Amino acid sequence: MLKRSLLLINLTLLSTSCALIPDAHRIEITQGNIIEQESIDKLSLGMTEEQVKFLMGSPAIQDIFHPNRWDYIHYVDRQRRALVNQQLTLVFKDGLLEQAKSKDFDVSKLASQTAPVTAPAVVAISGLGTATETVTETTTEPSIEDNIKSAVQNWAAAWSQQNVDAYVASYVDNYNTGSSHRAWAAQRKTKLTRPKSIAIGLEDLEVTTLDETTARAEFKQDYRSNTYQDQVLKQMTLTKQGDSWKISAEKTLKKLK
């Protein structure tokens, strides 16, 4: 009787211990990067490789034979069943972000920043029945609004690239904020060069033309550096100087984050 009782106790303990042992066949294997749509939305064409790494981290795959292509993957496998399988491909040219491709994420914000496509060539034939042809290529002239948006985007790109000369050149020649233009430029140089990296994102850029030489731009500005980040609603006044639109005034309307 005693032996039978001990046998039952041992069997009970053995079955309980087996239940506590995890199923080795259900081990979860994770590979690559965790990719977030919010980070993708902050990318801008023309960003440097370092700025992209600051936002997205290092790519999971970087082929030594195709160094200009970065592949970010996020793959989770559990019991030979893929729970997550996401991929984002970024393409660079001369060290600057040129293209983004993904079937899993929305990259349309980057695609919308590509340069306008040149209109097809128009062929005019002069002299009926002759072989003389005059080929005239026509291009779509950018509108005033397009030129102003380009000026604002170039300003943001110069800031992101910490290019002090290009950044200062985005403003009118005598721009200042209560001090001399030289003092303002020196102060901005310090602001641009102190962080190790800066990334500027623009959203909802809207332009209002006030007259032939004056316009107003409003947009959400997302600022990120290695030490600080915020998001604000900003308003700019731009003035046409020669063939270029320059910033003549700017102010923060509201802090969003």
Q: What is the CATH number of the domain that holds 206?
A: 3.10.450.50
Q: What is the pLDDT of residues 118-176, one digit of tens each?
A: 344 444 434 444 444 444 445 567 888 989 999 999 999 999 889 999 999 999 998 98
Predicted pLDDT of residue 25: 53
DSSP state for residue 171 in the 8-state scheme: B
Report whether pLDDT(8) > 70: no
Q: What is the mean pLDDT of residues 222-235?
A: 92
18, part of any domain: no
123, part of any domain: no
pLDDT level of residue 75 (50, 70, 90 thresholds): confident
136, part of any domain: no
Report whether pLDDT(17) > 60: no
User: What is the three-class DSSP state of 224?
Assistant: strand
Same-domain check for residues 154 and 77: no
Predicted pLDDT of residue 84: 72
139, part of any domain: no
226, part of any domain: yes
Report whether pLDDT(233) > 90: yes
Report whether pLDDT(117) > 80: no
215, part of any domain: yes
pLDDT level of residue 12 (50, 70, 90 thresholds): low
Predicted pLDDT of residue 120: 43
137, part of any domain: no
Residue bearing the bigger pLDDT, 76 or 172: 172
**Neighbour count for residue 51 (Cβ, 10 Å):** 23
Q: What is the mean pLDDT of residues 224-234?
A: 92
| Helices first, then strands: H and E counts in the chain | 7, 10
Q: What is the CATH number of the domain that holds 77?
A: 3.30.1450.10
Predicted pLDDT of residue 122: 43
Q: 111, 129, 162: which is the final residue of a domain? A: 111
Quote the domain boundaries for residue 85: 26-111
Same-domain check for residues 242 and 174: yes
Report whether pLDDT(253) > 60: yes
Residue bearing the bigger pLDDT, 13 or 253: 253
Same-domain check for residues 77 and 170: no
| Beta-ladder partners of 233 | 220, 254
Report whether pLDDT(216) > 80: yes
Same-domain check for residues 245 and 162: yes
Same-domain check for residues 148 and 203: yes
What is the strand order of the sheet 96-101 is part of? Answer: 28-32, 69-78, 81-93, 96-101
Q: What is the mean pLDDT of residues 74-92?
A: 77
Specify the DSSP element, H or E, that contains 205. strand 198-211
Mean pLDDT of the chain: 79
The total domain count for the chain is 2
Same-domain check for residues 242 and 149: yes
Same-domain check for residues 98 and 187: no
Specify the DSSP element, H or E, that contains 29. strand 28-32
234, part of any domain: yes
| pTM, full prediction | 0.53
For the ranges 9-18, 46-55, 94-103, 222-231, the lowest mean pLDDT is seen at 9-18
